[in-house]
Amino acid sequence: MELYPFQQQAVDKLWNVPAVLVGDEMGLGKTVEAIALDIRRRQELGAPLTWKTLVVAPTSLLSSWADHFRELCPDLKVKVIDPKVRHKLLYALKKDRATIFIVHWAVIRLMPELAQYTWFHVIGDEIQSIKNRDAQQTVAFKKLTAVYKTGLSGTPADNKPQDLWSVLHWLYPKVWTSYWGFFKRHVDSVQHTAGPMMCAGEGCYKKHIRGFRENAGPKNVEELHAAMDPFYVRRLKVDVLKDLPDKYYSELVVDLHPKQRRAYDSMRDVMLAWIGEHEEEPVAAPAVISQLVRLQQFACAYGELVQVNKRNKVSGEVETLNALKLTEPSTKIDAVVELVGNTDGQVVVFAQSKQVIHLLAARLTRKGITNCTLTGDTPQADRGPMVADFQSGKYQVFSGTITAGGIGLTLTAASTVVFIDRAWNPSKNRQAEDRLHRVGQKNAVQVVTIIAKETLDAERNDSIELKWEWIKALLGD
């Protein structure tokens, strides 16, 4: 296996370390580095084929992992889980029918039998998936026993500095024992007080019903990096791939269609009323973001709330719920179609909502523009061939949701990526951009974000970049 010099340096440093974190920037080939570590460890230890490696990765990357293993070490038999018949994987494991077993993250919670084995090597791809220390998935994953552990993530703390603790605790549970000890040492925060008087928190001039702690970024970063150095590597593309073309950012500002504007303003008024009800109390971030995401969707296309019937999985009763239905008109989709029509090159388009992606696909098809779409509903078997067809030039436009299409794929056939809207998590946006800006890209990458005028688009993008600065500091960039 021939590696880039920086990849070989990582393998040389980490192969004999029992638990490691590869935090290279997205697009530098962390998958290849992890496989190289597995091969090197087997060679050095003379590991027999009965010693199993378990790869845990996002669903969209299972076939990619299998292809890489089969290409780089064809002597090792690979077994990829079939989500519809999970028991076949356990049968292959018991009968020594494979050496490399590849599963998606949800399987760890659904198949506790995996924790009954001592694995030679456990590889956690997108290891920030265990950031929630109390989640069932995280608890189940940490029950796995392995001789070697390898975590992969370009953003191991993908939204808040304290998210890194759970990853470190998985790697070395006897060293990184206390979450709150880590929080106090490495997370800067402001304590807000409750009561009839003004809050005593720094820079706060409000009254609060309940006290709460507000995060203000990382601290003692150099100390943290020094503690992690023996088992951690982090390289940036600008440092190790001198010939990789640059990324350029631009914004395309559009006016909402009058029909969209009326719907957006109505939804905004509802949102303002909701904020007014909660502004004097701390509200969990997911509750706030769920409200804002719905408002953001109204900036992407015309939206209306409709009633749908859904069966409750617990009680079995049918419930009537409000759901958001997105339809035309959409000035953002207008802008994407115009942009695609003005270029002969291939284009990648991302959005948060699969409804928006399907609206775009329908419009492109009516215009006679070849396109393919990848959302969470896309069958696993179709994903690899779809990417290969796009890379070969069969389609001019690849469109996908940020969650499904924004990780692990190589889309270097295009050099323009358009965001109809952006995720609230900064690392997800950067991951999506780097489907194009990675090894194999020969052209400068144009990153275009469509902004709807007089909506939350512009200001929310500013807040995303603020959080990203925290994360960059934590990772040592």
For the stretch 362-374, pLDDT in tens is 999 999 999 999 9
- Residue spans of alpha helices (H) in 283-346: 285-300, 331-341
Whole-number Å distance between alpha carbons of 213 and 215 = 7
Q: 3-class secondary structure for 164-228?
A: HHHHHHHHCCCCCCCHHHHHHHHEEEEEECCCCCCCCCCCCCCCCCCCEEEEEEECCHHHHHHHH
Are the beta carbons of 376 and 382 closer than 8 angstroms?
no
Structure tokens at 268: 């905004």
Per-residue tens of pLDDT for the chain, all 477 residues: 688 899 999 999 999 999 999 999 888 889 999 999 999 999 999 988 889 999 999 887 888 899 889 989 998 999 999 877 888 999 999 888 899 999 999 999 999 999 999 999 999 999 999 999 999 999 999 999 999 999 999 888 766 788 899 999 999 999 999 999 999 999 887 777 777 777 766 667 677 777 777 777 788 989 999 999 999 999 988 888 888 898 999 989 999 999 999 998 888 888 777 766 766 666 666 667 777 788 889 999 998 878 777 777 767 777 777 778 899 999 999 999 999 998 889 999 999 999 999 999 999 999 999 999 999 899 888 888 999 999 999 999 999 999 998 888 899 999 999 999 998 888 889 889 999 998 889 999 999 999 998 888 877 666 666 566 666 676 665
- Short-list 370, 379, 428, CA closest to 399: 370
What predicted TM-score, i.e. pTM, was given to this entire model? 0.75
Report all structural domains of the chain as residue ranges with CATH numbers, in order of start: 5-239 (3.40.50.10810), 247-475 (3.40.50.300)
Q: Which of 207, 208, 168, 172 is nearest to 186 (CA)?
A: 168
Of 436, 409, 408, 405, residue with least CA distance to 423? 405
DSSP 230: G
pLDDT at 462: 63
Question: In sequence order, what are the residues at sequence separation of 6 or more whose Cβ sits closer than 8 angstroms to the Cβ of residue 103?
Answer: 54, 55, 56, 57, 62, 81, 89, 111, 114
Instruction: Residue 128: count other Cβ atoms within 10 Å of its Cβ.
Output: 22
pLDDT for the residue 213: 72
Burial of 123 (0-12, 13-18, 19+ CB in 10 A): buried
Q: What is the pLDDT of residue 39?
A: 95
